[in-house]
Chain A
C-alpha cells in the first residue's frame, strides 16, 4: 500500500537504498518524506493532481533536458487518454457524415454527435440540448452572437457594456458590429482590488444598454465576477448578458439556469477536449429569433434558386459538415471531468491557487496582477506577474530552456488590460487539476534560479 503511494510520488529521492542512515540526504529525505506523507495522509487520499496525472501521457516527458512542468493551461489544457481513445475510436469504427445519412455508420455518427450535444447541455445545466450550438471555438461563438443577434438587435445609440479586462475575442467582434450598427461600446475599469469594478458596471447599465459582455473568470487577473448579480441588473433594463466562460467551465460548476445567462461561450480545448470545437449556449427564445450566421448545407430547410428557408436552432447555426469527431471527443472530455466531479476539481484547484499565490509572493520584487485572495475573494489557479527589471519573455525563455517549465509571456490576448496596468507584457503560470504542489514547488525553484541569473547580470 505504501509502495503504491511511492509510485505516485516520483520526486522523492530518499528511496535510494544506497544512502546511509546518517547521511544528510537521508535525513533530509526522511524529513521530507514524513512532511509530505503527513500532508498526503491529511487529505485522506492521494491528491487529485497525483491521481489524475497518469491519465495524461503528454505530461510524462522531458523538454530541453528537464522534466516537463506544464503551467500554461489557460492557453490550452491537456487531454486524457479517454479523449484520445474516443477520437481514435470514432475515426476507426464509425466515421461518417451526420444528419442526413441512411446507412448504419452515419446513423451511429449522428447519434454520438447528438449525444455529445446532450452532454454539453447537461454539463452546464441548459434546459434543452437545442440550446447548444457547436462552433469552432468560443471566438466563433461570440462572432455568431455579434453577427446574428447583434446585427438584428442593435441600433444607433444602443450600448454594449464590457470590461477593459476582456479577451480580444470578446472585444473585437463587438467593435466591428458597433461600427456597422452605430452602437456604442462602454468599458468598465478596474477597482482598487484590481478586478473589474462591479459597482461601476451597475451604474453604467441603463435603458440604452442592450448587451453586457463579461468574462466569468479572468485569464489574466484570476478574478471571478458575480454573474448572477450582473444578469439581474441587466435584465431589469431589458438587456442581455453574454458570458465568456472559457476559464470557468473547465474549472468549476457552471449552471446557466442558475446564472440565468442569455448567452454563454466556451472552448473544448481548454476543458480537456480536442481543438476545433467549442459551443454557444443561447436561450431558446433568443436563438429562435436569430437569423443565420454562416450559410450553407445543414442549416437550411429548403433551397431554391432565388431564396432558401432555414432550419430550426441549433442546426440553423451549424453550416457545413461539423467537427464530428472533435465534438464526440468533447463529449468524452465531459464524461471524464464529470467522473471526477467539477466541485472536487474546483476545491482542489482553490487549494493549489492559494499555494501558488503564496509561494509566488516569496519571490523578491514580484508584482502579481489581480486581487489578493481572501475569504471573500477567490482567485482562479493562475497568476500573471512581472519581476522588476526582468522582461517576462526573458523569464519564460530561461524557464523553458533551463528548467523545462512552460509558462506564457505576452499580453495574453488582453492588450487593453495590460495598457491599463502600465505594462507591455506579463508572465503567466496557470494550473489545472492534473498539476500538483510539486509542480508549483519546481516552478518556484526554477523561477528563483532564473531571477538570480538575470539579477546577477545587472
Chain B
C-alpha cells in the first residue's frame, strides 16, 4: 500500500471516503465509512454526487430507449471529441486492458480542476471515452475521485462492470481518477504551482515496464493508491528524504528493481519520531548485481553506509530487502 504524506490531510480525508480504499491507517481523521463495493450494486451512488455534466449525460442516455439509438448517441460523442495530439499517445497515457487502443491525457487548471482529452481507434470505445471526458472535465479532483463506476448501468449500454482485464470502460475511469489524484499531489507538493499543461509525473522516473494497476484489478487496488507489484512510480508519494534515498541508491547500486516506501505514519507518535519532519521510517526493496557475493549483513551495511547522511539527520529506521538478480529469478 502506498501511503500519502500526512501533510496533505485534505487528501487523506478524501481517500478515506473512496469506495475502494482499505487498510490505510489514518489517525484521528473523521470519516464517513463508504459502503463496500459489493453492496453498492443494490445501492447506487446517489446521482447528486456525480459531476453535473455527467448527470446530464446519464439522463440523456436514459431518455433514449432504443439500443441502436444509444449507440448512435455514444458515437456522436466520440465524433465530437477534441482530437488528442500524437505526442500524448504515450505508454503512460494508454488504458491497459483494452482490445482497442485508448489514450487519456489529464491536466489541471489554476483552480486545480482536472481536464481530460482522449482518443481511441475503436469508435465505441472512443464514445465511452468521450462520455467520460465530457462528464468529468472541469471538475474538482475530489469530485472526480468520488465517482463510482456503477453509474454505467444507468446508461443502459449493457456495459459490463466486471473488474477484468478486458473492461475498457472501468479501466478508463480508473486511469482518469488516478491521473487526477497524481496531478493534485504534484500540484500540492509544488506549493500551488499553476500546474498548466503536461501530466505532472516525470515520465523518465517511471520504470520501463510500467504495468498499471488494472493488471490485477480487485478491491485492494484503491483508486490512486494502487501499487501493483511491479513498482508503480512510488516517487509521487515520497517526500524530499524519500526521493533522496531513492536517487542515492539508484546512483550507487544501479538496481534493476527499487521500491522505496515511506511508512513513517505507522510510527508516528513514538519517541524516535517526535520532533522530526515526518520522514523517519522507510521500507526499501532493492535488487542489484552489486549484492552478488555479499552476505546479508554486508548488503545491509552497504546500504546504511550510502544513506549515512540521512541517518544522521532524522532518518530513524530502514527495513531492507536486498536481493541479487539471480536470487529474484530463481524464485
Q: Contact residues of A with B, CB < 8 Å?
A: 64, 390-394, 397-398, 401-402, 409-410, 424-425, 453-454, 457
Please tell me if the beta carbons of B125 and A393 are within 8 angstroms of each other in the complex: yes
Also in contact, A391 and B121, with CB within 8 A (given A409-B99, A425-B100)? yes
Least Cβ–Cβ distance between A125 and chain B, in angstroms: 39
B254 lies within 8 A of chain A by Cβ: no
* Residue from the list B68, B75, B121 in contact with A402, Cβ < 8 A: B68
Question: A64, A393, A402, A424 — which one has the most chain B CB atoms within 10 A of its CB?
Answer: A393
Least Cβ–Cβ distance between B73 and chain A, in angstroms: 11
Please tell me if the beta carbons of A402 and B67 are within 8 angstroms of each other in the complex: yes
B111 lies within 8 A of chain A by Cβ: no
Please tell me if the beta carbons of B72 and A391 are within 8 angstroms of each other in the complex: no
Which A residues are in CB contact (< 8 Å) with B99? 392-393, 409-410, 425
Extra inter-chain contacts (8) besides given A391-B122, A393-B100, CB under 8 Å: A64-B158, A391-B121, A391-B123, A391-B124, A391-B125, A402-B67, A402-B68, A453-B68
Please tell me if the beta carbons of A424 and B71 are within 8 angstroms of each other in the complex: no
Also in contact, A454 and B101, with CB within 8 A (given A401-B158, A402-B68)? no
Please tell me if the beta carbons of A424 and B67 are within 8 angstroms of each other in the complex: no
Question: A390, A401, A402, A454 — which one has the most chain B CB atoms within 10 A of its CB?
Answer: A401
Rounded to whole angstroms, the CA-CA distance of A402 and B99 in the bound complex is: 20
In B110-127, which residues have CB < 8 Å from any A CB?
Answer: 121-125
Rounded to whole angstroms, the CA-CA distance of A401 and B123 in the bound complex is: 15
Rounded to whole angstroms, the CA-CA distance of A415 and B307 in the bound complex is: 45
- A-B residue pair count with CB separations less than 8 angstroms: 40
Rounded to whole angstroms, the CA-CA distance of A398 and B70 in the bound complex is: 12
Which B residues are in CB contact (< 8 Å) with A393? 99-100, 122, 124-125
Please tell me if the beta carbons of A394 and B124 are within 8 angstroms of each other in the complex: yes
Question: B68, B71, B72, B79 — which one has the most chain A CB atoms within 10 A of its CB?
Answer: B71
Rounded to whole angstroms, the CA-CA distance of A64 and B158 in the bound complex is: 9
Which A residues are in CB contact (< 8 Å) with B101? 424
Minimal Cβ-Cβ distance residue in A for B78: A457
Also in contact, A398 and B122, with CB within 8 A (given A393-B99, A424-B101)? no
What are some 29 contacts across the A-B interface (CB < 8 A)?
A: A390-B123, A391-B100, A391-B121, A391-B122, A391-B123, A391-B124, A391-B125, A392-B99, A393-B100, A393-B122, A393-B124, A393-B125, A394-B100, A394-B122, A394-B123, A394-B125, A397-B124, A398-B71, A398-B124, A401-B67, A402-B67, A402-B68, A424-B100, A424-B101, A424-B121, A453-B68, A454-B123, A457-B72, A457-B75
Minimal Cβ-Cβ distance residue in B for A400: B158
Rounded to whole angstroms, the CA-CA distance of A398 and B125 in the bound complex is: 12
Rounded to whole angstroms, the CA-CA distance of A444 and B252 in the bound complex is: 63
Which B residues are in CB contact (< 8 Å) with A424? 100-101, 121
Rounded to whole angstroms, the CA-CA distance of A397 and B159 in the bound complex is: 10
Which B residues are in CB contact (< 8 Å) with A454? 123
Question: A390, A391, A398, A453 — which one has the most chain B CB atoms within 10 A of its CB?
Answer: A391
Which B residues are in CB contact (< 8 Å) with A402? 67-68
In B51-94, which residues have CB < 8 Å from any A CB?
Answer: 67-68, 71-72, 75, 79
Least Cβ–Cβ distance between B156 and chain A, in angstroms: 11
Least Cβ–Cβ distance between B81 and chain A, in angstroms: 14
Minimal Cβ-Cβ distance residue in A for B158: A401
Which A residues are in CB contact (< 8 Å) with B79? 457
Least Cβ–Cβ distance between B326 and chain A, in angstroms: 12
Rounded to whole angstroms, the CA-CA distance of A350 and B231 in the bound complex is: 51
Least Cβ–Cβ distance between B115 and chain A, in angstroms: 26
Which B residues are in CB contact (< 8 Å) with A457? 72, 75, 79, 123
Rounded to whole angstroms, the CA-CA distance of A445 and B101 in the bound complex is: 28
Which B residues are in CB contact (< 8 Å) with A425? 99-100
Least Cβ–Cβ distance between A136 and chain B, in angstroms: 21
Which B residues are in CB contact (< 8 Å) with A401? 67, 158
Minimal Cβ-Cβ distance residue in A for B123: A394
Least Cβ–Cβ distance between B61 and chain A, in angstroms: 15
Rounded to whole angstroms, the CA-CA distance of A409 and B125 in the bound complex is: 14
Rounded to whole angstroms, the CA-CA distance of A402 and B123 in the bound complex is: 16
Which B residues are in CB contact (< 8 Å) with A397? 124
Rounded to whole angstroms, the CA-CA distance of A64 and B67 in the bound complex is: 10
Least Cβ–Cβ distance between B188 and chain A, in angstroms: 38
Least Cβ–Cβ distance between A4 and chain B, in angstroms: 37
Rounded to whole angstroms, the CA-CA distance of A394 and B68 in the bound complex is: 13
Which B residues are in CB contact (< 8 Å) with A398? 71, 124
Minimal Cβ-Cβ distance residue in A for B166: A410
Which A residues are in CB contact (< 8 Å) with B123? 390-391, 394, 454, 457
Minimal Cβ-Cβ distance residue in A for B122: A391
Rounded to whole angstroms, the CA-CA distance of A401 and B159 in the bound complex is: 10
Rounded to whole angstroms, the CA-CA distance of A16 and B10 in the bound complex is: 70
Rounded to whole angstroms, the CA-CA distance of A401 and B158 in the bound complex is: 8
Which A residues are in CB contact (< 8 Å) with B158? 64, 401
Rounded to whole angstroms, the CA-CA distance of A410 and B97 in the bound complex is: 11
Which B residues are in CB contact (< 8 Å) with A409? 99
The 5 closest A-B pairs by CB, nearest first: A391-B122, A393-B99, A393-B100, A394-B124, A410-B99
Question: A394, A424, A425 — which one has the most chain B CB atoms within 10 A of its CB?
Answer: A394
Chain B 118-147, CB within 8 Å of chain A: the 1/0 string?
A: 000111110000000000000000000000
Rounded to whole angstroms, the CA-CA distance of A402 and B72 in the bound complex is: 13
Rounded to whole angstroms, the CA-CA distance of A457 and B122 in the bound complex is: 13
Least Cβ–Cβ distance between A287 and chain B, in angstroms: 28
Least Cβ–Cβ distance between A83 and chain B, in angstroms: 27
Minimal Cβ-Cβ distance residue in B for A457: B75
Least Cβ–Cβ distance between B164 and chain A, in angstroms: 13
Which A residues are in CB contact (< 8 Å) with B100? 391, 393-394, 424-425
Which B residues are in CB contact (< 8 Å) with A64? 158
Minimal Cβ-Cβ distance residue in B for A401: B158
Least Cβ–Cβ distance between A30 and chain B, in angstroms: 32
Rounded to whole angstroms, the CA-CA distance of A22 and B71 in the bound complex is: 39
Rounded to whole angstroms, the CA-CA distance of A390 and B75 in the bound complex is: 13
Rounded to whole angstroms, the CA-CA distance of A392 and B125 in the bound complex is: 12
Rounded to whole angstroms, the CA-CA distance of A410 and B168 in the bound complex is: 13
Least Cβ–Cβ distance between B50 and chain A, in angstroms: 25
Rounded to whole angstroms, the CA-CA distance of A424 and B71 in the bound complex is: 23
Minimal Cβ-Cβ distance residue in A for B100: A393
Which A residues are in CB contact (< 8 Å) with B71? 398, 453
Which A residues are in CB contact (< 8 Å) with B122? 391, 393-394
Rounded to whole angstroms, the CA-CA distance of A144 and B307 in the bound complex is: 47
Least Cβ–Cβ distance between A102 and chain B, in angstroms: 41
Least Cβ–Cβ distance between B261 and chain A, in angstroms: 31
Minimal Cβ-Cβ distance residue in A for B101: A424
Least Cβ–Cβ distance between A323 and chain B, in angstroms: 25
Least Cβ–Cβ distance between B100 and chain A, in angstroms: 5
Least Cβ–Cβ distance between A457 and chain B, in angstroms: 5
Rounded to whole angstroms, the CA-CA distance of A457 and B79 in the bound complex is: 9
Rounded to whole angstroms, the CA-CA distance of A397 and B173 in the bound complex is: 20
Which A residues are in CB contact (< 8 Å) with B124? 391, 393-394, 397-398
